[in-house]
Structure 1
């Protein structure tokens, strides 16, 4: 029954919430069609929270389901999937919100297609086809660029015009293929193999304009993905627009948001490069000027030194040192010569004092018999014996007339030697 209220007798909010809960519960379980806009799965909860959005109108509603139901879906439920849900609506009075509790979920149409693509993506990712370490860098300025696109397409026009405008000397080899439908995958794969065989091609661009998920489905084909993975030449994916994410974007070495973005990535901008060259040249000039100024300052500092201002000062100092050393050498040599002369004189005087001739000069004589033996005693000498007398300046020959024997005189007492003392 309708609830009657007035300004004089308003209904409490709890009554309104209770009436709403009753009306919503009266609806019972219903089948709802929509698109999954958001999935929030919490590890600590057995409930999966989702947002279900109408496929046409801007209407969305919260939806929950058990983790067992969510994990049992095959293919897995992903964001963007279109689904049929058997759910029971419920009203949460505390917050005043309405949510759906799903009892069964079925994926239909595009949602089922997206789910299959997600499953394929997970399998290929598990094989490592999308690994970041496999991505190859693009060349700075390729000799030739391979372009795989549809004939007379806007994507071809965007790539060629933007690339030529950025770098007029860019050279392209364009191969036209079907970019949707059943013939797309074999034609694109064959074109990729043909460009791979060309040694001049250093980068390959696969370009297509925007389209629906069904139109872009060939660029998520497993055969094409594996062919791009095995290619030795870097591949740029330029499929659709920014929101479109075919699997080709994941396996390609570079993912371009649009064909125009791909053209900007594969060739540099000549105007920017010319500006960079000019800036580099100016930096080189500035660095060279700085280096020259520094070296000139160093030369000026060297010139200002006394040794460089008048080099003769150093020579004069060295000349004074040489004169002092020469005088010292002369004095030293003269002193050593004087000492040597004194030593010679002393040794000569000592030799003269020890010479027998000096003894003869003092009036002594050496007496020898006729045989030339020196006579030191009168023993054995008879009267009338012939003798010779050696004096300082000559020799005298004489004959003895008489021989007189004298008493012997005692000699000086001998000083005991060191050996006797030791004994």
Structure 2
């Protein structure tokens, strides 16, 4: 039987014509993982299966939905000094192992140690400082809560007292309030993922005007999901205002700093997200009473002003007011007529004087006094005897007409 072409040595040398079989890829991965040294890894225990000498743990990343299986001796677990329970945060010293037949990566653990509450709180403090430096806690990014929300989104534990506190107190204040409730795990391995998903789902719902994240009190390690960076960033990116109602006054998870408003308890959150209908009704009644009083006072003021106007003499006898003005108008008309007549008389005298002057200076007046005007045939006035030729026919104009004459000779 003829042997086929040799398989590529490296992944970069494979092609569609020369691929690796699945077994080769698995062996290559196994060889690569085998070269890794032992390391320390941290996670949250979500499942423990104990056998005779070996225990199998499902170790989950608390921030994302990712997990690995680890095997460890029951004697190593006993050496922890504290019971290993589901939900505990631990660190393992383990060697990664890849099982080629199954195609899975597992951890062969040698040591296991619990992560103490002090260590977790120290990490939370470091995260708090980092997020504060980024501005996630700044007051100017806090969004105001709506006065009357159309719908309140509530993220809380399944059948929890926190849910009852929020809903009952809100409906006691505003009976018609609607809720979109998402019941999720609020502690343990899946808390961060479920709460984050619920927040994002409600934030995408345009009918939801405010989101409340509520949980009752508990130990510090039980409230750790509400100081998780993934959840905090999801809340900071939400468009909808978020209310943090975790635990009691003494409990301060980092969610309290990122949320737009912090409620001291779930009961306080129920009172904060909606107004008090009775108080608002009393306020409206007070405003209506004040408005009514203001209107009545204004009407009374205007009535007094009208009465004061009506009591004036001019309003008591309107004709007297008109009579006074009629007399004034008559006097003004008489004065105007007198002045106009005087002016017309003066101007008439002036016109007569000018007419007399015009008549005295006119040529006709000169003719009336016995003078005559002698003109050539062409109409030119004879101004000198030297202008007249012998036997020239001249025109003579006198006061009552004209006639022609003939020059008989020129006098020298």
What TM-score do the two structures reach when normalised by structure 1?
0.58
Within 2, Cα distance between the matches of 1:167 and 1:148? Answer: 20
**Contact 2:154–2:212 under 8 Å retained in 1:** yes
Which of 167, 180, 183 is 2:187 aligned to?
A: 180
Q: Which secondary structure state, in structure 2, belongs to the residue aligned with residue 215 of structure 1? A: helix
Query: Number of matched residues?
Result: 280
Root-mean-square deviation (CA), in Å? 3.9
1:297 CA drift (Å): 4.7
Match of 1:386 in 2: none
Match of 1:166 in 2: 173
Match of 1:329 in 2: 340
Q: Which secondary structure state, in structure 2, belongs to the residue aligned with residue 116 of structure 1? A: helix
1:114 CA drift (Å): 2.1
- The yes-or-no answer on 1:254 pairing with 2:261 is yes
Which of 107, 114, 120 is 2:127 aligned to?
A: 120
1:139 CA drift (Å): 0.6
Which of 275, 279, 294 is 1:272 aligned to?
A: 279
5 Å matches for 1:293-304? 293-300=300-307, 302-303=309-310
5 Å matches for 1:81-92? none
In terms of Rg, which structure is larger? 1
Q: Residues 149 and 352 of structure 1: is their aligned pair in 2 closer, same or farther, counting only changes over 3 Å?
A: same
Which of 196, 215, 234 is 1:189 aligned to?
A: 196
1:248 CA drift (Å): 0.7
1:110-132 deviation digits (Å, cap 9, x = unpaired):
33332222122112222222122
Q: Residues 210 and 366 of structure 1: is their aligned pair in 2 closer, same or farther, counting only changes over 3 Å?
A: closer
**Contact 2:364–2:399 under 8 Å retained in 1:** no
**Contact 2:153–2:180 under 8 Å retained in 1:** yes
5 Å matches for 1:350-389? 350-351=361-362, 354-359=365-370
Q: Which secondary structure state, in structure 2, belongs to the residue aligned with residue 355 of structure 1? A: helix
Match of 2:355 in 1: 344
Within 1, Cα distance between the matches of 2:281 and 2:268? Answer: 21
Q: Which secondary structure state, in structure 2, belongs to the residue aligned with residue 206 of structure 1? A: strand
**Contact 1:225–1:248 under 8 Å retained in 2:** yes
Match of 2:210 in 1: 203
Gaps of 5+ in 1: 1-107, 381-388, 398-404, 406-423
1:339 CA drift (Å): 2.3
Q: Which secondary structure state, in structure 2, belongs to the residue aligned with residue 347 of structure 1? A: helix
Match of 1:102 in 2: none
Within 2, Cα distance between the matches of 1:394 and 1:323? Answer: 52
**Contact 1:148–1:207 under 8 Å retained in 2:** yes
Within 2, Cα distance between the matches of 1:358 and 1:292? Answer: 93
Q: Residues 233 and 296 of structure 1: is their aligned pair in 2 closer, same or farther, counting only changes over 3 Å?
A: same
Match of 2:152 in 1: 145
- The yes-or-no answer on 1:316 pairing with 2:327 is yes
Which of 205, 221, 240 is 1:233 aligned to?
A: 240
Within 2, Cα distance between the matches of 1:202 and 1:396? Answer: 122
Match of 1:216 in 2: 223
Match of 2:249 in 1: 242
**Contact 1:352–1:358 under 8 Å retained in 2:** no
Q: Residues 318 and 291 of structure 1: is their aligned pair in 2 closer, same or farther, counting only changes over 3 Å?
A: farther
5 Å matches for 1:402-417? none
Within 2, Cα distance between the matches of 1:274 and 1:295? Answer: 31
Q: Which secondary structure state, in structure 2, belongs to the residue aligned with residue 245 of structure 1? A: coil
1:228 CA drift (Å): 0.8
1:231 CA drift (Å): 1.0
1:338 CA drift (Å): 2.3
Within 1, Cα distance between the matches of 2:335 and 2:328? Answer: 11
Gaps of 5+ in 2: 1-114, 376-380, 389-395, 405-410
Match of 1:59 in 2: none
**Contact 2:370–2:398 under 8 Å retained in 1:** no
Within 1, Cα distance between the matches of 2:222 and 2:138? Answer: 26
**Contact 2:213–2:246 under 8 Å retained in 1:** yes
Q: Which secondary structure state, in structure 2, belongs to the residue aligned with residue 191 of structure 1? A: helix
Q: Residues 328 and 302 of structure 1: is their aligned pair in 2 closer, same or farther, counting only changes over 3 Å?
A: farther
1:350 CA drift (Å): 4.7
1:227 CA drift (Å): 1.0
Within 2, Cα distance between the matches of 1:203 and 1:392? Answer: 120
Q: Residues 223 and 339 of structure 1: is their aligned pair in 2 closer, same or farther, counting only changes over 3 Å?
A: same
Higher relative contact order structure (alpha carbons within 8 Å, sequence separation ≥ 6): 2
1:394 CA drift (Å): 9.8
1:354 CA drift (Å): 4.2
